[in-house]
Amino acid sequence: MNLSAIIHRSNSEFCYALDKDRVAVTIKTGKEVDHVFIIHEDPFINQLRRKPDWFGKRSEMQKYMELDRYILWRIVISPPYKRLQYYFEIQSGNESYMLYESKLVTPDRIRETSRQYFKFPWLNPSDIITPPEWVQNTIWYQIMPDRFARGSNFKNDGKFKEWADMISPHWKDLYGGNLKGITEKLPYLKKLGIGGIYMTPIFYSPSNHKYDTIDYRCIDPDFGTEDDMKELVQQAHQCGIRIMIDAVFNHCGADFFAWQDVRKNGNNSPYYDWFFINSDDFRNDSYSTEDGRFFSFSFWAGMPKMNTNHPEVIRYFTNLCSYWAKEWDIDGIRFDVGDEISHTFVRELHRKLKTIKSDIFLLGEIWNDSLGWVTTKEYDSVMNYPFCGCVNDFFANEQLNTKELMYMLNYCHSIYPEQVTKVLFNFLDTHDTQRAIDNCKNEDVLLQKLTFLLTMPGTPCIYYATEIAMHGKETMYNRQCMPWSKIENGDYEDMIGKVSQIISLRNKYSELSDNDVRFVIHEDSPRLIDYIRSEKIHVCLNAGGHPCAVEPTGKVLYSNLYKNNILNTDGILICENC
C-alpha cells in the first residue's frame, strides 16, 4: 500500500459541514486501495455509555472521484448530537491500516501508544458555507462597457473612435459604449438566455478598462450617471437578469484623492498609511516600482497598492459597497486581484454586506487554489481559472485523452466544499485572456467547449461576443467592439442560434446545476468526451480525429454533426433520460 498517498485533515476540504445537519468526510488514497471504512461517533459516547474507551460505528466509504494518482473516498454523516469523532480503516489486499490524526498504524499496533482521533467539534450554523442559491442557476455574461453598446443618449464630443474601428488599436482608445447601451440591449441578452451581467469597472478613471480608479463614488461620465446605473439594475431585474459590478480595492489610480494627498504632503498626509510607502523619494516619476519605493499592482506606479489592513481603508470601501447594495440594489461584487486584499477586510465586508442583502454574491478574482478565501466567510466563490485552463489545454492538445481531462476536472472539483463547487465561476475566456475561438480550429470546436462549460457544475460565464465567435488573441484585440450592425443584419444568426439552444438546456434542466458528473471512458475512442449528469442528461463530444459510433440513450435535446448513430469529428450529442 502506498502510505504516502493517504491524506486527510479535519476541518478542511476533507471534512466540512454541508448544512446544519450533515458533515461530508473525504479521504485521499492511492489507487491500489480496495476499501475504506470510517469509525465514527460522538466524541463523548463512551462517557454517556460509561465505557472506559471511546468506540464508534463502522461505515464503508464510497469511491467518490478519481484523480491522476489518487482516489477520493467520501461519506456524508448526520451526527445526531452535532459533534463527530472518527478514524479510518484502509484495506488493500491483505494489508490493513488505521489512520488517526496522530499516526497511521497496522491493527496489531493500535494499543501501543495513545491515539489522537480526528474531530469535527460542532455544527455551528453560522459557520456553514452558504453561497446564494440563485447563483448556481445563473448564466453570466461579461461586458466591458466601453466596447459593448452605445446607448441612444450617446454624443460624440470628438474623443471617441468610430465604432468597431480596430485598425492600429491603442491602450487609450475610447469607443463610447455606456450603461444606457447595456440597458437597451437587455432584450438581446434575455433572448440569448442570460441570467446575470458581470460588468468590468464602471467608476471614474482615465483608461478604457477603468481598473485604475480615480473616484469610487462617481460613475465614469463616459458611461453615464448614477441614475443610468439604477435604471440598468431596475430594467435588468424586470428581465430576470442579475447585475454584478467590479470592485478594484487592491489598488487605485494615480489621481485617487488619497494618493494625491500623500504625494503632496508626504508622511504628514492623513492618508499616508492607506498605502505601502517604503522610501522618502517615493514621488519620483518612474513608471515602474521595481525599486520598491512603494508597492503597486504589477510594478505599475500608476496603480499604487491600497493597504486593506488599515481600519480607515476597510471602513471607506465597506461603506462604498454598502451604498451600492442599498441604493443600487446590485446582486454581486467581483473583487479584482482578490487574493492580495487582506482577509481581515474581506471578512468584515462579507459580514456587513450580508446583513444588508443576505443573498448578495461576493466573487474573488483568484487564479489558483483559493480554499482559504471561501471557507472562512469571505468570498462566496472565485473565478475558476483552473477549469478554464484544463478545458483549453484539452481542446488545444490532441495528445491528451478524455481520462486526462477527467483527472484535471476532478481536481478542480475536489479542492472545494460541495456547495462552493456549485457556484465556482467557470468561463472559457475573459478580458485578460485570448478569446475562446482562438484556441479552436473551427466554430464547431467552440460549440463543444461552450457545451462543456454549460453542462458542468459551477456558474458559467460567457465573455461578450463569444456567442458570435469573435476573435482576439492579444489583449487589445480581445476587447473589440460588439458588431451590432452585423448582428442585426443576421450575419451571426446561425452561431447565436446554436449557442442559445445550448444555453436553453442549462436553463431548463436543473440537473445541470448539480455536482454529479460521471464520465464514461472509451479506450477505443480516447478523445470521445462522454459523461452523464445526475443520471438524466447524457453528453457526448467527439474531440477525436475520427467519427465515433454513439447511440442516443433517450430523447435528443441537441445535436451537431450527428447522423445515423455516428458522431462526426467536432460533433455534439446531448440526450435526456440515460
Q: Which residues are catalytic?
A: 336, 365
Q: H/E/C letters for each residue in 348-373?
A: HHHHHHHHHCCCCEEEECCCCCCHHH
CA dist 153 to 181, 206, 209, 222, 223, Å?
8, 21, 21, 11, 10
Residue listed under C-alpha cell 450575419:
491
DSSP symbols for 65-134: EE-SS-EEEEEEE--TTS-EEEEEEEEETTEEEEE-SS-EE-GGGGGGS----EEE----GGGS----GG
Residue listed under C-alpha cell 443576505:
358
Nearest to 130 by CA among 468, 400, 419: 419
How far is the C-alpha of 86 from the C-alpha of 25, rounded, in Å?
A: 10
Indicate the DSSP class of residue 162. P
Query: Which pairing describes strands 140-143 and 215-219: parallel, antiparallel, or unpaired?
Result: unpaired
Q: H/E/C letters for each residue in 166-193?
A: CCCCCCCCCCCCCHHHHHHCHHHHHHHC
Segment holding 54, helix H or strand E: none
How far is the C-alpha of 365 from the C-alpha of 56, rounded, in Å?
A: 43
How far is the C-alpha of 146 from the C-alpha of 174, rounded, in Å?
A: 7
286-312 burial: b if 16+ Cβ within 10 Å, else e: eeebeeebbbbbeeebbbbbbbbebee
Q: Which residues contact 410 (CB under 8 A, 6 or more apart)?
A: 65, 66, 67, 72
Query: Which pairing describes strands 528-533 and 566-576: parallel, antiparallel, or unpaired?
Result: unpaired
How far is the C-alpha of 28 from the C-alpha of 14, rounded, in Å?
A: 9
**Chain mean position to CA 411:** 14
Tell me if 122 sits within 8 A of 16, measured CB to CB: no
* Residue 348 cell numbers, joined: 468584515
Q: Which residues contact 441 (CB under 8 A, 6 or more apart)?
A: none
Q: Which residues contact 295 (CB under 8 A, 6 or more apart)?
A: 275, 276, 278, 289, 304, 305
**Chain mean position to CA 456:** 12
Segment holding 238, helix H or strand E: helix 226-238
DSSP symbols for 248-268: --SB--TT-HHHHHHHHHGGG
